[in-house]
Structure 1
Amino acid sequence: MTDRTDTQVVARNAGLTSSEVAERVARGEVNDVPVRSSRSTTEIVKANVFTRFNAIIGVLFLVILVVGPIQDGLFGFVIVANTAIGIIQEMRAKKTLDSLAVIGEAKPAVRRDGTSVEIHTSAIVLGDLIELGPGDKAVVDGEVVEAEGLEIDESLLTGEADPVLKKPGDPVMSGSFVVAGGGAFTATKVGRGAYAAQLAEEASRFTLVNSELRNGISQILKYVTWMMVPTAIGLIISQLVLQDHDWREAVRRTVAGIVPMVPEGLVLLTSVAFAIGVIRLGRKQCLVQELPAIEGLARVDVVCLDKTGTLTEGGMDVTGLRMLDGATEPYVRQVLGALGGSDPRPNASLQAIVAAYPATVKDGTGGDGWRCTEALPFSSARKYSGAAFNEPDGDSSSWLLGAPDVLLPTGHAALADIDDLNNQGLRVLLLARTDRRLDDPGVASDVVPQALVILEQRLRPDAADTLRYFEEQGVHAKVISGDNAISVGAVAGKLGLPGAEHPVDARQLPTDRDAMADVLENGAVFGRVTPQQKRDMVAALQSRGHNVAMTGDGVNDVLALKDADIGVSMGSGSEATRAVAQIVLLNNSFATLPSVVAEGRRVIGNITRVATLFLTKTVYSVLLALLVVFWQVPYPFLPRHLTLLSTLTIGVPAFFLALAPNKERAKPHFVRRVMRYSAPAGVICGVATFGEYLLARHHYTGDGALDAETSNATLTLFLISMWVLAIVARPYTLWRVCLVLAMGAGFLIVLVTPWLQDFFALKLVGTEGPWVAVGVALAAGLVLELVWRTLRVHDSD
């Protein structure tokens, strides 16, 4: 590379001028793809208001407004309040996500007026010269103008795993990312015209779907709809045609039978629980790019950790230099300084070397120092980098810097010392001289070792506690690193990771997926792992039924992050890792992960609880409606009665239970587990309530008999529903006990307050009938308790 050529490159590639940028902006040639971290306000309102069940409830509410009285239409006001709560909470979550997305947004370096500046992706214009380095993602389509060992991975777009070496004139596709080298490209397509623009927009969108929890709820609602339609038709016919009482009364009791079949608050509380989870995590600088990731991480049973940047901090320090084969330290220091100056974007290891041995060269233009004539950027697949120099005395030399066990042949005398250093948790790089050209595929063969560079990694102070948390929660941690296996094992051992004393060299791993999975099941630390192996290891673990999370910050982690069930990236990681990860830790703290797991477990455990409450109501409502049709009797309740019961035994307590702390480990098969409890509970509630209703019909006669029968049936159903609530609220804490008692007190207040008795049409007549109702409820509660305990024992087995 000559001085003249370099001068021409700088002049030709100065980028656009300010006036050229202004012209393109005026013409609309701007990268204006709207990247959203959340749904728009309009979408939030529509999603919460225009639902299938809101439509059903709305129609029934209008019917009640016609036939009156207004207290039988209270369920309509409850729906309005619930919908408003859902909109407000999701709007809060949107605000949190949008603000975090701005903080975590990558800003590409663009050369304008000859100066490199960082700008927002949306500010790129057609013809901009965009600089690229390791880990950078191409945000628009373009054409390479400068390339220095530029290798780009296009696997996320094309599926081709091997990086592509790019030269000037080659195309660059948006969505691809740099794995080695650097360069610059001119933007040829921006905005929606870019190849991956639609994919990028879709990948970054906040979503409430595609999770086991929400899919399970959708499946439940589908079943409920199937049950509702024929049951409601039968009830309508029964109450309007076959009964000989006032048509307004018939309509009210028909509506009373249909309304409780709708688990209207279940979807709302799920959305609210997720939204509040986003807000809580946002306060801890955790950006959830895809909402189900909160749930997904809670279901994870294996977490694969990249050592660098996760267990250790990004920075390193040079702690020693050992000469080999007669090399002299002053000369080696000059070589290391020259190597540091030859890479415009040094990785963490090279940055430590640059800090210890200041560079004597910045580029090929030289001066009196070392002149770089050829460079080989570091690659995770190669495990080494290199450069060729014209030395100040006129000699030429080529050097490699990288993993000793990759550059040295097996059995080399220096490897024994290296193993000893690795056992201390130190990282060791080998500086070696080569007589081959750097573009020779065999450049790493027959090298002449010159020195060992000893680096000390900085352990994250919170890493040990985080690993301990995962162990206590039954989540297996696997450290997967590109570094020397012994060194990685020593670092993991210092942090107390079980199994760290038996590290595995990934170069010895079998390629067969089943055989690899056997090794992964038993091992905890793996070193010398290539990027493709990381991806294969994730697939092997998934083949054994594991839910796998992958953490990382480097470009070598991208493929594994994409394929893992949950990808977690550090905020300071490469742009490519942040783009494919579902969760970004903006504070770069590995210790934030337990908070995400805990938040997910809270959501899953609590929604399972409240879903049991809602589905129990649906089951007993359908059963009561069927029994009424078959027995040809008036429906035992008015809408106001069931609104009162639903509010006290489901609505209010479910809201608090959905947001309560919950550390239970997430379990699969949400629908089956919920229906396993709610179906028998609903049947017991329905049969007991209808049985008491028939007893009351036999006991009461004359005027006012129907009101007395309704009041007794309401008392029975309330007491049984309270028993269900008391079971669901376990294990008891002070606030849970107070919650259950407060709901009971609320019903008691209605029973003893004259104007509330009139408002809710609840008045117990005599003493024998009410005590029979209490007795029936007590017997049903004991049966319910027995069934529940039996199911719990079966589940624990």
Structure 2
Amino acid sequence: MTTTGEVHVDHVTGLTSAQVAERVARGQVNEVGERTSRSIGEIVRANVLTRFNAILGALFVLVMTTGSWADGLFGIVLVVNSAIGIVQEYLAKRKLDRLALLNAPTTRVVRDGETVVIPTHEVVLDDLIELRSGDEVPADGVLLTSEGLELGEANLTGESDPVHHPAGDEILSGTSVVAGSGRYHAKAIGPEAYVNRIAAEARKFTRTYSEIQTSINTLLRYITWVIAFALPLQVWSQWKVVGDEGWQSVVLRSAAGVVGLVPEGLVLLTSVAFLLAAVQLTKDQVLVQQLPAVEGLARVDVVCLDKTGTLTVGEIAFDDVKPVKAGHGSAADEIRCALGALADDPNANGTLAAIGAAIPTPGWHRNGTVPFNSERKWSAACFEDHETWVLGAPEVLLPDDDPLRDDVAELAQRGRRVMLLCRSAEPLDEPVLPDDLAPAAIVTLSEQIRPDARETLGYLAEEGVHIKVISGDNPQTVAAVAREVGLDPGEPVDARTLPEDSDQLREIVSRTTVFGRVSPEQKRAFVHALQADGHVVAMTGDGVNDALALKDADIGVAMGNGAQATKAVAELVLLDGRFAHLPKVLGEGRRVIGNVERVANLFVAKNAMSLLAIVAAALATLPFPFLPRHLTLVSTLTIGIPAFFLALGPNKRRYQPGFLGRILRFAVPAGFIAGLAVFASYVLAGRNYGVPPEEFSTRCEVASSGDVGAVDLACIQPSTGATITLLVVFFWILVVLARPFRWWKAVLIGTMAGLAVLAFMLPIGHQFFGFNAPPALVWSSLGIGVVGAALIEVLHRWSLGVGASPMVSAGQSHDPS
């Protein structure tokens, strides 16, 4: 560890401004936390240095050596794709980084004798750090003072129970304050801090699972193997067929086939869809800390809610205090004084803060504290010349047969948060209840229901998302709140009665909606039980007692006003604490899933078509039907440009598992249909308008090299007919995937079709692309294309019947886009 050397650091006033400046100059500044985005260098490398860019780049260089610039158009597309990806991610990075900076974790430090709050990354070596409940420990050090300090160390050790740390204990970064307070000097920061040295293993950080990214990566592996098989086959077959025309012809025909196998824009559009969804959510005060979380929430079918801060605004108010009946008795004035003294705590939790706002402190001198803990569910303090006072959950502090339990239950059923104030003559040295504990008063607090909670829960219910309300409060109180927001709580369960057996717990959790008196470890167990039943679970919360469950849930959603430890492990942070933002996040996730599926179908269909054309050309000993320029035209008009708009358009269909399976079930047969139609058109046009195979090498050498002005027109007519057929079939695939139609989709497809027609009609178009289309050829090619389109429609309707339809996956049933 880094040591302070000879520099004196005051244990009370902390570092001076000069000492801080000196450490900053030496670079002794804390560097912690996950980045919200990649660096500019990483963005450029991720968008440029890919396996498919390498393949296309090599092909582009080879094509350029032939002198056929028109056939190098795919190189421009390659550059544009990478540039769009870089610019989009950079702009998103700026917005996300700015928002993350505004909501970065903070740390209390003592400098020049004053306690100030600074960003955690500005902590310097030897800073005097003050810890309070809910804080994350930002650096390693040795405690100078401890007021009942308890740390959650599960991130480092896996131990779920909070660990008490007295003064003199070494504490480590990466832990969180569950209860109490303390001070210490930062002795190891940045890369030397324990959590940063063992982050990969000990903190068990896991990236959010993304079905889309996993499926796309699997798909890319498949395509890589396909290219490894098809490339040598294509080169061999084209060398055999057009080798007499020279190596240039072999390169052009071979390149055309391989270019068709590369999904050059698929990864780009997937990344852009994630990024723009995250940026869009920032407008609604939602910080996405991991991009796949946008998709993840759309897959969620169970949401576990913490009542306080989620269904309620989280700001409780003192309601009333009622001394217990005669026999337990305590004077009303003394009780109010005791409550005021308990609330006079610099590390007060929400309950004590609400009491302190209503009851002034009597000025009692505190000489011992047991801070509130979610496991204990009570806090206590000892005072000079006064007794020990304990405030906590009645279910914990009262014997099972105490008649006060009836009064507590009645108040809880009315939606009140009920606490019990007890007294004892025994001093408290450790967090163990005294034997002479006697009830003194029932304290009630009220909570304000969030006005948007009922509507939000209603929306989730309509979308098939189940709700589990999990709270540390009285089960009856939680049930009353649940009823107010429109939930049917059924029979609420006191979590202290739950079995530890995982199978029994799974059964109870599956059929119960409301749970009270839930410990932090039980919240985590609930998440595991639901996941074991195959559910995708989201957990919302704001307190440090929710951190473990948020971390293990598929999607953790933290409230912006919650504890830093909670926000640190969450994938999504609702910056303004409004639970009503969840439907918006759900909608963005659905848009991403549905739209990426749409465009993936387009790319994979093109890959399948190219593979079939390569194999068919090899088996029939024919030139590959296209030059690279032809496939660039088809890809741009039926895939590239439409896919960009379809990937960003609205889409509200419900999530359905089986993303990759649906793509393969539709796109591969659709691509094969397109390939068969293309080859039929190519062969037919070759017989009726082309040249005999034995004359091809002598009459059509220029056609393969791209010099259209000097070519025998009969040589380019078969490729022209094949291109017309391919355009017809792929435009119909686009029509199927774009359903249901909206005006903007009709305009998009109509515009692309118009541009395709112009490529054949305008002199500059057919000169540049090498087209020659006599009317009879046009009609025969269109006819074959229509047959192919009809087969695509049949495939679509068949897949609709087996539940694999791209129309369903694209959102026909629920897409008002």
TM-score range with shorter-chain normalisation? over 0.9
Separation (CA, whole Å) in 1 of partners of 2:50 and 2:804: 37
Match of 2:423 among 424, 433, 436: 433
| 1:687-731 residue CA offsets vs partner (Å, 9 max, x unmatched) | 111112111122124542231111111111110111110111112
Q: Match of 1:510? A: 499
CA apart distance, 1:573 = 0.9
**Would you say the 8 A contact 1:407–1:445 is kept in 2?**
no
Q: Does 1:458 align with 2:448?
A: yes
Partner SS state of residue 368, structure 2:
strand
| 1:587-626 residue CA offsets vs partner (Å, 9 max, x unmatched) | 2111112221211111111111100000000001011011
Q: Match of 1:387? A: 381
What is the 5 A alignment of 1:289-300? 289-300=289-300
**Would you say the 8 A contact 2:550–2:566 is kept in 1?**
yes
Q: Could you say if the C-alpha distance between residues 774 and 22 of structure 1 is closer, same or farther in structure 2, counting changes exceeding 3 Å?
A: closer
Q: Match of 2:595? A: 606
Partner SS state of residue 661, structure 1:
coil
CA apart distance, 1:246 = 2.5
Q: Does 1:375 align with 2:369?
A: yes
Separation (CA, whole Å) in 1 of partners of 2:227 and 2:431: 70
**Would you say the 8 A contact 1:37–1:204 is kept in 2?**
no
Partner SS state of residue 137, structure 2:
coil
Separation (CA, whole Å) in 2 of partners of 1:173 and 1:371: 32
Once structures 1 and 2 are overlaid, which stretch shifts more, 408-417 or 124-133?
A: 408-417
Q: Match of 1:141? A: 140
Match of 2:362 among 360, 363, 371: 360
**Would you say the 8 A contact 1:207–1:291 is kept in 2?**
no
CA apart distance, 1:435 = 3.5
Match of 2:338 among 335, 339, 352: 335
Match of 1:527 among 516, 519, 523: 516
Q: Match of 2:789? A: 781
Partner SS state of residue 375, structure 1:
strand
Q: Could you say if the C-alpha distance between residues 739 and 747 of structure 1 is closer, same or farther in structure 2, counting changes exceeding 3 Å?
A: same
Match of 2:623 among 625, 628, 634: 634
CA apart distance, 1:249 = 3.3
Q: Could you say if the C-alpha distance between residues 210 and 423 of structure 1 is closer, same or farther in structure 2, counting changes exceeding 3 Å?
A: closer
Match of 1:662 among 651, 663, 666: 651
Q: Match of 1:303? A: 303
| 1:336-360 residue CA offsets vs partner (Å, 9 max, x unmatched) | 111111x212111111100110112
Provide TM-score, normalisation by structure 2. 0.91
Q: Match of 1:414? A: 404
**Would you say the 8 A contact 1:490–1:501 is kept in 2?**
no
Q: Does 1:736 align with 2:745?
A: yes
Match of 1:585 among 571, 574, 579: 574
Partner SS state of residue 14, structure 1:
coil
**Would you say the 8 A contact 2:542–2:559 is kept in 1?**
yes
Q: Which runs of 5+ in 1 are unaligned?
A: 1-9, 362-369
Separation (CA, whole Å) in 2 of partners of 1:16 and 1:269: 50
Once structures 1 and 2 are overlaid, which stretch shifts more, 617-626 or 413-422?
A: 413-422
Q: Match of 2:802? A: 794
Q: Match of 2:54? A: 55
**Would you say the 8 A contact 1:150–1:178 is kept in 2?**
yes
Q: Match of 1:447? A: 437
CA apart distance, 1:756 = 1.1
Separation (CA, whole Å) in 2 of partners of 1:12 and 1:63: 70
**Would you say the 8 A contact 1:464–1:495 is kept in 2?**
yes
Partner SS state of residue 218, structure 2:
helix
CA apart distance, 1:667 = 2.5
CA apart distance, 1:125 = 2.1
Partner SS state of residue 372, structure 2:
strand
What is the 5 A alignment of 1:256-295? 256-295=256-295
Q: Match of 1:3? A: none
**Would you say the 8 A contact 1:144–1:170 is kept in 2?**
yes
Letter in 2 for 1:454: T
Q: Match of 1:108? A: 107
Q: Could you say if the C-alpha distance between residues 129 and 442 of structure 1 is closer, same or farther in structure 2, counting changes exceeding 3 Å?
A: closer
**Would you say the 8 A contact 1:31–1:123 is kept in 2?**
yes
Partner SS state of residue 277, structure 2:
helix
Separation (CA, whole Å) in 2 of partners of 1:250 and 1:470: 58
Q: Which runs of 5+ in 2 are unaligned?
A: 1-8, 692-711, 806-817
Q: Match of 1:367? A: none
Q: Does 1:241 align with 2:249?
A: no
Separation (CA, whole Å) in 2 of partners of 1:27 and 1:695: 77
Letter in 2 for 1:614: F
Identity %: 48
Q: Does 1:94 align with 2:93?
A: yes
Q: Could you say if the C-alpha distance between residues 208 and 567 of structure 1 is closer, same or farther in structure 2, counting changes exceeding 3 Å?
A: closer
Q: Match of 2:695? A: none
Separation (CA, whole Å) in 1 of partners of 2:630 and 2:67: 14
Q: Match of 1:364? A: none
Separation (CA, whole Å) in 2 of partners of 1:580 and 1:119: 20
| 1:638-693 residue CA offsets vs partner (Å, 9 max, x unmatched) | 11111111011100110001001111222333222211111111111111111121
Partner SS state of residue 333, structure 1:
helix
**Would you say the 8 A contact 1:36–1:205 is kept in 2?**
no
Q: Match of 2:762? A: 753
CA apart distance, 1:22 = 3.6
Once structures 1 and 2 are overlaid, which stretch shifts more, 68-77 or 523-532?
A: 68-77
Letter in 1 for 2:252: R
CA apart distance, 1:436 = 3.5
Partner SS state of residue 36, structure 2:
coil
Partner SS state of residue 143, structure 2:
strand
Match of 2:546 among 530, 539, 557: 557
| 1:142-187 residue CA offsets vs partner (Å, 9 max, x unmatched) | 1000001111111110111221111111000000111111111111
**Would you say the 8 A contact 1:434–1:443 is kept in 2?**
no
**Would you say the 8 A contact 1:35–1:201 is kept in 2?**
no
Once structures 1 and 2 are overlaid, which stretch shifts more, 693-702 or 507-516?
A: 693-702
Q: Could you say if the C-alpha distance between residues 687 and 12 of structure 1 is closer, same or farther in structure 2, counting changes exceeding 3 Å?
A: closer
Separation (CA, whole Å) in 2 of partners of 1:211 and 1:656: 22
Q: Could you say if the C-alpha distance between residues 157 and 506 of structure 1 is closer, same or farther in structure 2, counting changes exceeding 3 Å?
A: same
Q: Could you say if the C-alpha distance between residues 11 and 219 of structure 1 is closer, same or farther in structure 2, counting changes exceeding 3 Å?
A: closer
| 1:465-500 residue CA offsets vs partner (Å, 9 max, x unmatched) | 211121111111111100001101110110112x32
**Would you say the 8 A contact 1:569–1:583 is kept in 2?**
yes
Separation (CA, whole Å) in 2 of partners of 1:469 and 1:775: 48
CA apart distance, 1:195 = 0.2
Separation (CA, whole Å) in 1 of partners of 2:228 and 2:25: 58
CA apart distance, 1:445 = 5.2
CA apart distance, 1:327 = 2.8
Provide TM-score, normalisation by structure 1. 0.94
CA apart distance, 1:26 = 4.2
Partner SS state of residue 151, structure 1:
strand
Q: Does 1:191 align with 2:190?
A: yes
Once structures 1 and 2 are overlaid, which stretch shifts more, 244-253 or 371-380?
A: 244-253
Q: Could you say if the C-alpha distance between residues 156 and 89 of structure 1 is closer, same or farther in structure 2, counting changes exceeding 3 Å?
A: same
Letter in 2 for 1:103: L
| 1:523-564 residue CA offsets vs partner (Å, 9 max, x unmatched) | 111110001101111111111111111111101011111111
**Would you say the 8 A contact 1:531–1:559 is kept in 2?**
yes
Match of 1:473 among 448, 452, 463: 463
**Would you say the 8 A contact 2:209–2:296 is kept in 1?**
no
**Would you say the 8 A contact 2:11–2:128 is kept in 1?**
no
Q: Match of 1:5? A: none
Separation (CA, whole Å) in 1 of partners of 2:131 and 2:34: 21
Separation (CA, whole Å) in 2 of partners of 1:11 and 1:762: 84
Aligned residues: 773
Q: Match of 2:721? A: 712
**Would you say the 8 A contact 2:174–2:203 is kept in 1?**
no
CA apart distance, 1:291 = 1.4
CA apart distance, 1:502 = 2.4
What is the 5 A alignment of 1:344-359? 344-359=346-361
CA apart distance, 1:236 = 1.3
RMSD of aligned alpha carbons: 2.2
Separation (CA, whole Å) in 2 of partners of 1:746 and 1:207: 47
Q: Could you say if the C-alpha distance between residues 778 and 590 of structure 1 is closer, same or farther in structure 2, counting changes exceeding 3 Å?
A: same
